Every structure is written in structure tokens, then in C-alpha cells.
Structure 1
Amino acid sequence: MKKLLYITKIGVAALAVVCSSCEKQLDQLPLSNTIVANDGKGTAGSSITDAAKAEAAISACYGVFRNSAATYYVMDYFLVGDGQSDNSYAGADNPSWFEVDEFRMQSTNERASINWGFLYNHISTANSIIANVPKITDAALTATRKSQIVGEAKFMRARAYFDLIRIYGDVPLVVDELPTITPDNLEEIYPQLYPRRTPVSEVYTQIIKDLNEAATTVPANGPNKMTVTPGVVYTLLAKVYATQKPVNWSLVKENCDKVIALGYSLVPSFESLWDGAHENSSEAIFELNFDGWETGGNWGSDMFYGTGWKKFNTPSNDLVKAYDDEGDAVRKASTIHFMDVTGKWNDKYWSNSYARFPFAAKMRNTSGSQNIIMYRLADVLLLKAEALNESGDTEGARALVNQIRQRVSLGPTPATNQSSMRLAIEKERRLELAFEGHRWFDLVRTDRAIPVMKAVKDGAGNNLNYPISENKLLWPVPQSEMDKNSQLTQNTGY
């Protein structure tokens, strides 16, 4: 009875998961996030019954990127991908991020709990669409549009699960809505409400299944780049195959080639990707569009850029040195801006440089209207170069790396063999994609995180001695989730 009372209490609070963007929905919810409706009947998504409600539901699913899970997608994703890598320090004044940055996380870390919740929120929203849209009989919803909506939701579910397993490892795999919860079926449904962690290999199987089904059904294009199209799906598939062990490099290349064949092209100027005047460009594959505060503004820019207060993701001495060592003035100028913060705050990593303090600058418009490029062609080209090199075609890889370097006025890569090309591609991805949320995941998937992070030095050349180990490559399962679900187990080392 205590179980039933708990579920009933949280049910009313989470009813609007599909057709509105409610914040912090998973603070109290079991992982399935499938809840009894106000009248005691149906599931959270059972209100999706006609064409208009289906469109509202998929709009809400896109809206999660900008509203109910915006803390993850406009801020935390970049701290996860860059802040715990050698690209930046945590910055600002949040103890939870200091723990991430310095590999001191505990299971009670606030960010571990928050981001687990945000990602499952997105999954729940997608699950409701996938479960209910196929049932709609409204003639206004054509079969084609119905398939598109389901395909778009499957992409978003796959993307959220991909981040979950990269951050936490094994996670509960929840893909179904549950029937109405009653005293009679509670014992049957309870294991599904509070599931065990699913092995990463099985989650990958679901991710790939979702993406393969989405690739043939999503819209060919949209009003802007914030539409899940085949190019978006193939990009994620390439990333998934490059991360899944053992890596199937032929499938990485195959999906990169599918993206390239769709006609994306590098913009001539690297700076135009970030200046706000060339958004939804020919290079962008998937881009979160922000118009301003009235429609869910991009407040993430203000978290990384500006001198009003100490910002997050402070560029590291190591990254600045990497640009300087390469003579990469073009990308450095677009990626890092230096400003005078004398008298404003202290910083242990840049203690003697307050007149020239660095800021991550790819999101620099703090009016709330700057878009976020999640996937772009340069990333795909370098991923294809990696696939070619790992398959023995070092010359093919060289051509792609040089294409990227040529845009920023750098000469050909000096790499001469597979091993040196491997490091050249790693470096090129770092300098090209810094502060786009890729670096940490690149280091982990290539088994380079530990040696790279153990070698990081401060501005004076002293080793920072990060206490990184194999156990620290994953975050802990949040203690708050373990307290709610006794079936969960903790990652080794926490």
C-alpha cells in the first residue's frame, strides 16, 4: 500500500509530461515516468489522440532541448564534454562541478542526479509519442506524417540513451508506457516501475534499432536545422558505431558517407559558425534554434561568456597552449576570447593573468538568441578520417584532415603513418570542436582519457596530478535514484 500511495502522489504532479514542458519532472519519479492520469485512467501519453495533439507532443519533445531539460542541453552537456577534459576547468563557483572537474565525484553529487533526471525526462516524453501516435485514427494525421513523428521521437530517445550510457554506463532501459496502475496489477507492474540497470550492450542494441527505424521515416528537411532529418540520424549512428566496442569502422564510414552524400558543405569562414549572422548554415546538420527569451532563450551563453561574474568552462592553459603550438590563430580567436577581469575574482589556474582572462567564446551572444550547433559536417569529416585511418587508408584520412586544416589557413598535417595520423586526428578534433561537448567523449571512446588527463599541466608547466582512474571514466549512479529504486546498483569505485 505504501508503494501505491507513493505512485499516486507523484502521478498528479507529472501528468503534463507530454504536452507541456514541466521542469524537474524526475525529481520524484520512478524511472519509467509513466503515471496515472488525473481521472485514474490511462497513461501520461494517452491524451495524444488526434493530429493536433500529436503535433503538440512532438513539438514538446523538441522543446525539451530548450525548456524542461535546458539545463542539460544548453549548459551541462558542454561541461560534461569539455569541463572534465583537458579543454577547460570547471570555472564559476559550483562545488558539484569542481568535483567533476577534479575527478572527486560522489554518488550524492548534485549534477549526477540532475542530469540523470533531465535525460530520462526526454526519454519519457519520446516514449509517450512512440506508444500513442501509431494508435491515432484521425484522418488529418497522414500515415507519412505519423511515421515522421514517431521517427523523430525515436531519434530523441536514442540520443538521450546514448548520453546516459556514455556518462553512467549500464542504465535502466525503459521503452514502453505502462497500463493504468491499480491495486490489482501493482505487483506485476512494480518491477517495471523500478527496473534494474540494463547492460550497455543491450542499450546499444535499442539505440541502433531506434536510429535505423528513424532514418527511413524522418522528414527529408525542415524549416530550419532544428529538425530531425536523415542527416541528423546518420550522424548519430556514426558516433554510436565509433563508440560501441568493438568499433565497427566500416559502419562508421558508411554512415559518415550517407551524411556527406546529402550535400552539406563547410562554410568558408570558421568564424561565421559562431558570429550569429550565419545560423542554420550549410555546415550545420542539427542546430538548436533560439529566438529570444519569449520562446525559451539560450541562457547557456551567459553561463560561459561575460565578465559580470565568474563563468563556467574556463579554457585551460593546456588548450591555449595547444592552439599556440599548432599556430592555429584562426580557431583560437573564434574559440577563446580574452578579457580583463582585474579585481573581479580569483582563479587558481590563471592567478597571474587577470588582465587577460580566457572565456569559451563559441556561444558569445548573451541576449538569449544564439543557436547551438549540436552536429556539423566538420565533425563528420574528421570521424570519417578516423574510420579510414583505422581501416588502413591513411592517405584518405590525410585528405580529409587537410581539408579541415585548409579552411583555417594551416598547412598539411605532418602525420606520416597510422599511429601518427591517429594522434593528428585526435588533435584536429580537439582544436576544431573545442567547447562543442565532444572532447571528453572522444578521449574515453579512444581509450585516451587516462593518459591524456594524467599528463595535463598548469600554466607554469606543473602536472595537475588529476586522480583519474578506470573507475572515474563513468559518473556514479545518483544516490537519490538508488534511494528510490532498490534494484539499482552502484558503479565500481563509488
Structure 2
Amino acid sequence: MKIKFKLISFFLLLTGCHSFLDVQPELQVDEAQAITNASTAEAALNGLYNRLGSDGYYGSNFQSLVYLSGGDIQWTGSQGAPQEITARKLTADNSYVSAAWSAIYRTILQANYLLETVPTLADPLLTADRKNQIQGEAYALRALSYFDLVRGWGGVQVVLKATRTPSDNTGITRGSADDTYSQVLKDLTAAEPLLSATTNRNKVTRKTVWALRARYHLYRQEWDQAETYASKLIEDSNYKLAKPYSAFFANNAVATPESVFEIAYSNSFKNGNYNWWLPPALSGRREWAPNDKLVALLNDPNVGGNRKELIAQTSPPGNLWYGKLYYRTPLGTDPAYVIRIAELYLIRAEARAQLGKTAAALADLNAVRDRAAVPAAQAATRDALLLAIETERQVEFPFEADRWFNLIRTGRVATVLGITDTTKYVLPIPNSEILADKALVQNQGY
């Protein structure tokens, strides 16, 4: 793939800075100059997190593909690329798709450099434990990257070696979705023993891996393991559902006990989501907006409850609804939420429902509903529970890139959104990548 088969500059490798990503993402230098000691290894690890939070990935484009595909978010602007997404007319030249694909593979590329280079360093400041931690974080973030690729595009090319020359890693054929999921599990399994079992909401720890494994096993319909790994977090007193719902994001809150893993931003490393959600009066463009259906659900005291704090209206005469999860001053300093404890409760609820543990599943679902100040659900059968959990996810994570993938994995997208063409359940591979690598085959239907 073109973006993977270029070497990256020393500064770009270490920082992952937004301005350089946007302007000149494919500069080439000798990679051997980049990670040579403890300080450059630490800088490169920070750059890996910046890659994860870049505009193309969790800072905007990847999330927007899910928002705009899921049926609850409308596009109010005039650009062609997002209009294609909401109109279900995606093409392989869509710039949002290309930006997300490239950003995810850049994240994988940086993880590969760390995994190959850090074990060889002989700096006394880089202890064995610290080397393990860095490698564990790289494995886990590579796992997350491949997980997001397989959710979005199906089976992909699995690249596990660093790219030191433009010809490296060319000619790799696409694996199946099962192959890609298998690599996700391999990386999570490799990461777990290398990481400390501490609580850190902005960096990967062993607990982060447990949370990602719970999500992984849910997608693979491995209910026992999904329940087991979700329980590890739920039973940890360091994590709890924030009350009221807005407590995890309102009043400039960061890294609350609600968060298992969130990406931190700052004045020099900004989260681009605010620009698309906030109205012009609040220095945004409001080109992603909750549609009438979602507004009604969030404002329904029996469904949304206090989750209505996620949205607000502009002043008359416009009276336009907008999302306010991303709102902070300075602009762009909001966290991006990768996984919260609420998701672990709903993962365990679904796993338990599938295992026939109806009462326990209902208790997990109602824990999330209680936090949102909505009446307890009364679902008494497996099917009723699964539908209740689906609706709960819809109003619990409307601005966290969940809805589309959730409907795809449960086989509900045709019923809920009316999309019966199964070729549209995955995204197109960017045309530029197809042209650059003859081994890369386009998804059917594009």
C-alpha cells in the first residue's frame, strides 16, 4: 500500500504532528536515524499515540465514517465526500475513506518500527521493564488498528515488519477477515504479559488490553470470553459509571473513572471533531448533526434520560440541534473516547444474554440505564434483551463511532437501515492504494 511503503521523516516518526501529517506525510530518510536510544524511543512511542489520535483516525475521519454511516447523524454541509457516505453512494475515490485508511496504516507502521527497534537498543536508561512496556503498548495499538481495519474494510493486508525501503512489504495479498481478526488476537495476547496491570486512562496497560479483548470476543461471538474479560474491568474499583451521565465529559472533565482508554489532546495536538459538531456561534461548522430521530431518543426521559446533555440547540431563529461532546476551550482539547466502562457493561450484558444468563444480563443493562436516570428495562427473553441492548448502545455512544459497526456485526443493518446490498457493509479500498500495489484487490461492489 502506497502509504505504508514510504519511509517517514525523523521528526514525523517521533511526533506524529498534525500539521506535518496534513502537509507532507511521506518524506523519506534513513529510518535507522530515528530510534537509537531511550529518549528517541519514548518520543516515538508518544508519536504512536499521536498517530492514533490524528485527524485521519480517532481525531476525525475514521470516526466520521462510522457517524455518517450509522443512520443517526446527518450531514449539513456541501462537500461531496461526506455526502457520498450519508447517501450510501461511496466510491473508492472518497477522501474520507482514503484519509482514514492511510492514518490507520501509518499507526501500524509506527508500531512496527517500535517493535523491531526497541528490543535491540542498548541504552542503560531503557530498562528491561520499560522495553517490555513500550513493546506491549505497540502490540496493543497495532491490534486496535487492525481491529478497526477489519471492522471497516474486511480482511486486509497484514504488515508486521518495518518499512525501511520503498520496496519493503510490497506484494502482500489481502488476508480474509478471519486472518485479520486472528492477528488482532495475536497482538493482544503478545501485549498482555508485557504490560503493567496499572490504571492509566491515556496510555495502554494490561487493563486496556482486557477491555479490548472483551470487545474483540464480542465481535467474534465468543460469549464466555467476552463476559470474562468485561468482568475484569467491571469488578475493578478503579472503573465505575459516572453519575450523572455528563460527568465523564462536562465541565472539562478528563480521565474520569468512566474511561478505560481515552486519547488526550492539547493546544499543540488538537482533536478535530469539535470543528464538525459545534455551530458557527461556537467556532465550529456544524456539518455533522444529530438527526430528528436521535434528538427525539435523547430527549425522551424513558430512553435518553440525562444523556440529553449530549445535545443542545442554537438560539432562535435557527433552533438547530448540535452535538456537544466536543466543546472545550481551548478548542480541540477534548478527549477522544476509545472505550468506556459503560461499553464493558453492555458487552457483558449481551454475552450473558447469549449464554442464557437472563437475570444477570438484565442487571448489567439496568446499571447503564440507572446511570442515565431512565426506568429499568423489563426484558425477559434473549431476543428482547438483545434489542434493548441495541437501543441502549444507540443512545449511550451516539458520538463515539459505535452504531454502524454494531449493526453490521449483529446482522441488523438491513432491518434497521434498509441496506440490503451486503457489498456496502464494508468500505472501499482507496483507488490510490489499488493503483500503487498490484497485490491489493478491491472490495466487491466498488
Considering the TM-score relative to the shorter chain, is it more than 0.5? yes
* 1:492 maps to 2:444: yes
The change in CA–CA distance for 1:326 and 1:299 in structure 2 (over 3 A counts) is same
User: Contact 2:191–2:209 at 8 Å: present in 1 too?
Assistant: yes
Q: CA RMSD in A?
A: 2.5
Residue 483 of structure 1 corresponds to 435
Deviations 1:49-102 (A, max 9, x none): 221121111111112234xx2332122233222221122112332211111112
- Determine the C-alpha separation between the residues in 1 that align with 2:241 and 2:40: 38
The change in CA–CA distance for 1:323 and 1:425 in structure 2 (over 3 A counts) is same
Deviation (angstroms), 1:225: 1.7
SS in 2 for 1:70: coil
Q: How does 1:287-366 map to 2 (within 5 A)?
A: 287-291=262-266, 293=267, 295-308=268-281, 310-324=285-299, 327-328=302-303, 330-340=305-315, 342=317, 355-365=318-328
* 1:248 maps to 2:222: yes
**Selected match of 1:81 from 66, 69, 85:** 66
- Determine the C-alpha separation between the residues in 2 that align with 1:439 and 1:90: 16
- Determine the C-alpha separation between the residues in 1 that align with 2:70 and 2:389: 17
User: Contact 2:75–2:287 at 8 Å: present in 1 too?
Assistant: yes
Residue 345 of structure 1 corresponds to none
The change in CA–CA distance for 1:20 and 1:105 in structure 2 (over 3 A counts) is same
TM-score by length of 2: 0.91
* 1:109 maps to 2:97: no
Deviation (angstroms), 1:341: 6.7
- Determine the C-alpha separation between the residues in 1 that align with 2:426 and 2:194: 34
User: Contact 1:27–1:117 at 8 Å: present in 2 too?
Assistant: no
| Bigger CA radius of gyration | 1
User: Contact 2:104–2:145 at 8 Å: present in 1 too?
Assistant: yes
* 1:127 maps to 2:100: no
Match for 2:277: what amino acid?
A: F
SS in 2 for 1:64: helix
Match for 1:275: what amino acid?
A: A
User: Which stretch has the larger CA shift, 133-142 or 316-325?
Assistant: 316-325
Match for 1:57: what amino acid?
A: A
User: Which stretch has the larger CA shift, 192-201 or 52-61?
Assistant: 192-201
SS in 1 for 2:98: helix
The change in CA–CA distance for 1:468 and 1:28 in structure 2 (over 3 A counts) is farther
The change in CA–CA distance for 1:14 and 1:193 in structure 2 (over 3 A counts) is farther
User: Contact 2:211–2:230 at 8 Å: present in 1 too?
Assistant: yes
Q: Structure 2, unaligned stretches of length 5 or more?
A: none
- Determine the C-alpha separation between the residues in 2 that align with 1:408 and 1:149: 37
User: Contact 1:26–1:120 at 8 Å: present in 2 too?
Assistant: no
Residue 226 of structure 1 corresponds to 202
User: Contact 1:25–1:117 at 8 Å: present in 2 too?
Assistant: no
User: Contact 2:65–2:97 at 8 Å: present in 1 too?
Assistant: no
SS in 2 for 1:130: helix
The change in CA–CA distance for 1:362 and 1:285 in structure 2 (over 3 A counts) is same
- Determine the C-alpha separation between the residues in 2 that align with 1:177 and 1:16: 17
Residue 178 of structure 2 corresponds to 201
- Determine the C-alpha separation between the residues in 2 that align with 1:92 and 1:36: 36
Deviation (angstroms), 1:28: 8.2
Match for 2:79: what amino acid?
A: N
User: Contact 1:26–1:117 at 8 Å: present in 2 too?
Assistant: no
Residue 382 of structure 2 corresponds to 418
Match for 2:210: what amino acid?
A: Y
User: Contact 2:6–2:28 at 8 Å: present in 1 too?
Assistant: no
The change in CA–CA distance for 1:10 and 1:88 in structure 2 (over 3 A counts) is closer
Q: How does 1:29-428 map to 2 (within 5 A)?
A: 37-38=29-30, 44=31, 47-66=34-53, 69-177=54-162, 192-221=169-198, 225-244=201-220, 247-263=221-237, 264-291=239-266, 293=267, 295-308=268-281, 310-324=285-299, 327-328=302-303, 330-340=305-315, 342=317, 355-365=318-328, 367=330, 368-428=332-392
Deviation (angstroms), 1:365: 1.9
TM-score by length of 1: 0.83
- Determine the C-alpha separation between the residues in 2 that align with 1:261 and 1:180: 47
- Determine the C-alpha separation between the residues in 2 that align with 1:178 and 1:409: 51
**Selected match of 2:394 from 416, 427, 430:** 430
SS in 1 for 2:59: helix
Deviations 1:8-54 (A, max 9, x none): x955x64555223254489886xxxxx9744xxxxx25632221121
SS in 1 for 2:74: strand
Q: Structure 1, unaligned stretches of length 5 or more?
A: 1-5, 30-34, 39-43, 343-354, 455-466
SS in 1 for 2:174: coil
User: Contact 1:87–1:316 at 8 Å: present in 2 too?
Assistant: yes
